[in-house]
């Protein structure tokens, strides 16, 4: 049995498994959303996705923070060259590349195209650098997180965590009717930053404590962590308490711990770790692929069966991930710049350093 903590390659198994798990849950969530908009019955998965909301993104940003520690401690130039320029390039590039499939979705799935469509899309394109919307908001958020962590790196940890916790709690307790106009204007990015930055910060600064601690957690204990979270969620949901901002704030931490527990249990799955090493390629391509798949499904006979809907959602998710990985595996054919900074950009960045 492979060590769930440290692999022969030197990588930490549960971290790669956790990243793989989080991206699979993100794809499933978006697959369910698009299928629902196409009229497919996916209610059972909607309940599952609602439950997994406390696990999906917290554990992803937490693990991202674990990898961020070295970059945050380095120079601003190195941070920009290795991380910020990558996130900005990928975000801007794919925000443009996914526009055709977004328009396809508006035309075929949501029927939101009207007389003002062209003008509205000009505004959308102009606002891309500032308005993080759609599935790519997380890349925009990562750029913000790295920059924020670097800017505040000399602050006392208690001050950083206090502000991050207050931001997360504040974003959750603001009434939905007040938050929606704000998100309509700014997109998903700013609120996502407020809600999830504390997890990124925890991974970044508590790495030296977390990794040894997790190494001592056995699988039975990890399963126990997951069960505690699941039971808590079910009990709270039965009393309609999960939407309470204070409770959802606390449950996000429990969900993050459960996500780590899941990663420990699943760390032996080499295919999950494989996906975990390629999350960026899946993330930037999955939304467009899901829209194409869902649009094609609208031309097929529809079923009211929830079982059929769940099966379709799982199959479309698996197909999307497999296609994204296949596309990434052949990037050296001539489109490696879709997943990393192009050479001309890196040359200019390095020229600034030597000038």
Question: pLDDT tier at 353 (50, 70, 90 boundaries)?
Answer: low
Question: pLDDT tier at 313 (50, 70, 90 boundaries)?
Answer: very high
| Per-residue pLDDT at 231 exceeds 50 | yes
> In whole angstroms, what is the distance from residue 243 CA to residue 53 CA?
11
Per-residue pLDDT at 9: 57
The number of beta carbons lying within 10 Å of the beta carbon of residue 59 is: 27
> In whole angstroms, what is the distance from residue 150 CA to residue 76 CA?
8
14-41 pLDDT, tens digit per residue, is 999 999 999 999 999 999 999 998 889 9
Q: Which residues does 20 contact at the CB level (< 8 Å), separation at least 6?
A: 269, 272, 273, 274, 275, 276, 277, 279
Q: Mean pLDDT, to the nearest integer, of 264-285? A: 96
| Per-residue pLDDT at 3 exceeds 50 | no
More confident residue, 223 or 126: 223
80-126 pLDDT, tens digit per residue, is 999 999 999 999 999 999 989 988 888 877 766 666 677 777 887 88
């Amino acid at each position: 049995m492979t060590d769930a903590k440290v692999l022969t390659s030197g990588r930490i198994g549960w971290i790669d498994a956790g990243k793989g798990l989080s991206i699979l849950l993100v794809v499933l969530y978006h697959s369910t959303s698009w299928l629902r908009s196409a009229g497919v019955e996916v209610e059972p998965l909607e309940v599952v996705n609602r439950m997994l909301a406390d696990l999906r993104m917290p554990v992803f940003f937490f693990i991202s923070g674990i990898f961020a520690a070295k970059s945050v401690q380095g120079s601003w130039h190195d941070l920009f060259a290795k991380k910020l320029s990558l996130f900005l390039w990928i975000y801007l590039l794919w925000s443009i590349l996914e526009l055709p499939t977004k328009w396809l979705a508006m035309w075929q799935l949501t029927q939101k195209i009207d007389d003002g469509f062209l003008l509205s899309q000009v505004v959308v394109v102009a606002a891309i650098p500032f308005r993080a919307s759609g599935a790519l908001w997380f890349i925009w958020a990562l750029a913000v997180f790295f920059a924020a962590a670097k800017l505040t790196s000399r602050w006392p940890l208690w001050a950083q965590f206090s502000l991050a916790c207050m931001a997360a709690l504040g974003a959750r307790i603001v009434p939905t009717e007040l938050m929606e106009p704000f998100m309509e204007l700014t997109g998903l990015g700013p609120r996502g930053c407020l809600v999830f930055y504390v997890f990124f910060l925890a991974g970044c600064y508590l790495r030296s404590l977390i990794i040894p601690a997790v190494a001592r957690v056995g699988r039975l204990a990890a399963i126990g962590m997951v069960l505690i979270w699941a039971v808590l969620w079910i009990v709270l949901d039965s009393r309609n308490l999960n939407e309470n901002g204070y409770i959802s704030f606390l449950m996000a931490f429990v969900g993050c711990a459960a996500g780590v527990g899941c990663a420990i249990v699943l760390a032996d799955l080499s295919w999950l770790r494989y996906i975990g090493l390629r999350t960026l390629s899946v993330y930037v391509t999955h939304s467009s692929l899901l829209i194409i798949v869902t649009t094609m499904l609208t031309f097929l006979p529809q079923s009211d069966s929830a079982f059929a809907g769940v099966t379709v959602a799982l199959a479309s998710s698996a197909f999307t991930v497999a296609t994204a990985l296949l596309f990434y595996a052949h990037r050296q054919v001539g489109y490696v710049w879709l997943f990393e900074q192009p050479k001309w950009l890196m040359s200019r960045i390095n020229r600034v350093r030597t000038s």
